Structure 1
Amino acid sequence: MQEMQWAAETGSFPGPRWSPAEEQTLLLPYLHLVRRVVGHLRSQVGTVLGRDDLEQIGLLGLLEALRRYGPPDEQFEYFAFKRIRGAILDELRRQDWRPRQLRQQANVFNQHSRALLNQLGRPPSEAELAASMAVPLATVRELGYASQAEAMHSFDELLEKLGGDWGGECEAQRMELQLTLQQLLASLDKRQQLLLSLYYQHELNMKEIALVLNLTESRVCQLHKQCLAHLNSRLAECL
């Protein structure tokens, strides 16, 4: 809570409507959202940032959500969850959290993934990727998450645009894009639709989704990334 008070005193976000003490009182019922978002994203960012760091960023995102939204009502929790999640992804992107070496390794990871896919006729397993790259399994998992996080951020940005305030004649365009998104989601196979529903609607993390779908965590990560790449490409054409 100290981070919230600091943000209020320094004016990090648009002008507060309440005193720091009032803000803390208003936000107390929603602190669980920060822990939920961090748990949701933790596997995607690996060990790049500690849980305490992620929660601090999430707290500031929660404060921003309150100041943008106004007095909380029954819809605030959904709005705050999106803002907390967006704040964490934005901070990771701003800090360029993937060091140069990791970015280079991620490119190699993608090259090996494509080569093995063509060779095997199916997505490679973590063990097969690890053997091909001559690296530990833990490294393969980290590289997969690093690549996935970028696709997640791009998809979130597109969803933010679709959910924003377009106004006037542009509102019809937004509705058309939302219909396009619905059609694209409907075009995915049932397992892909379920995966996205579990992740974005039910807020399960990759490990939990793997248990539901009876797949390995790495396979869920691969499927998620494939879905996002397809949706990002198609939606970007419409914007």
Structure 2
Amino acid sequence: MLVQNAMEYAEVRSAATAGCVADEQAHLLAYAPLVKRIVYQLNSQVGGAIDREDMEQIGLMGLLEALRRYGTPDESFGGFASMRIRGAILDELRRQDWRPREVRQQSHKLRDSVRALTRRLGREPGEAEITQALGITAETYQAYQLDENAEQLASFDELVQEMEGRFADTPNPEDQLMLRRTLEQALMQLDEREQRVVQMYYEFELSYKEIAAVLDLTDARVCQLNKGALRKMKSFLKSA
């Protein structure tokens, strides 16, 4: 009798496991377009440093991790999954140290020059002031800004994960509500244009080029606005 019960238990457990796997596969298929959107968005920033198919595979692993951590998807799962997908891809980019050394060195040199100019002026200089003081073209400066952003790849997702770290591994609804309200307060620290950039990039997953077209700006200016917005939000969240 005991053996029979054990066999029945094993059959039930096997069926349940098979059901879980089938559910996971169904959810992976359902959210695969989200992975493709995020890969498209990031691929435009990193210049093909990782093959697009490889990025999608890494993103799918991030999606699978999100499913296993979150549980049954609901209306809030998309935002949660986006963070894990983008985070998995960015982690791999950082791990591979994908930017050529010459590009990094040039970026560091320009960054130091911009900081020196900022100290001399006592304020943040405009693009025209920077290009004139450093003797570079607007195109060179815009390329520097994109390289600088690609080096940092600071993201709103990382801010959210920092906040989530204050809670349990799986935040309960009250924790999630508190997190959402804190982030809303952080967004209120931004001006209207910065808020639009953050929303279009992180909520609607538009690329810098697409945001630039909407706002009639250069890709580099969008990059600068995004970086400035994240800096303000980080400062607010540290004091929250």
Question: 1:9: which partner in 2?
Answer: none
Distance 1:199 1:155, change over 3 A: closer
Please list the CA deviations of residues 115-167 of structure 1 after superposition, one character each: whole Å capped at 9, or x if unmatched: 66777975326x948x8358x94x75554234224554364322113235615
Relative to 1, partners in 2 of residues 1:159 and 1:30: Cα closer, same or farther, differing over 3 Å? Answer: same
| Secondary structure, counterpart of 2:92 in structure 1 | helix
Number of corresponding residues = 217
1:218 aligns with one of 181, 198, 220: 220
Q: Is the 8 A contact 1:65 1:80 kept in 2?
A: yes
Please name the residue that 1:186 is paired with: 188
Counterpart among 124, 127, 130 of residue 127 in structure 2: 124
Task: Render the CA deviation track for 1:83-113: whole Å, top value 9, x for unaligned.
Answer: 1111111222233333443332221232344
Q: Name the CA shift for 1:176/1:71 in 2 (closer, same or farther; >3 Å).
A: closer
CA contact (8 A) 1:16 1:67 kept: no
Q: RMSD in angstroms over aligned alpha carbons?
A: 3.7
| 1:78 counterpart residue number | 79
For residues 57 and 63 of structure 2, the distance between their equivalents in structure 1, rounded to whole angstroms, comes to 10
**TM-superposition CA deviations, 1:160-199 (whole Å, max 9, x none):** 13235615xxx99998776554344223221112211221
Q: Describe the shift of the 1:115–1:26 C-alpha distance in structure 2 as closer, same or farther (beyond 3 A).
A: same
Name the larger-Rg structure: 2
Relative to structure 1, the CA distance from residue 73 to residue 181 in structure 2 (aligned partners, 3 Å threshold; closer, same or farther) is: closer
| Alignment-derived partner of residue 231 in structure 2 | 229
Calculate the TM-score normalised by the size of structure 1: 0.71
Deviations 1:39-81 (A, max 9, x none): 1222322232232221121111112122222333333333222
Segments of structure 2 that go 5 or more residues without pairing to the other structure are: 1-16
Equivalent residue runs for 1:28-107 within 5 Å: 28-107=29-108
The DSSP-based 3-state class of the residue aligned with 2:154 is: helix
Give the letter for the 2:53 counterpart: D
Q: Which amino acid aligns with 1:102?
A: V
Written as runs of structure 1 = structure 2, the 5 A alignment for 1:166-177 is 166=167
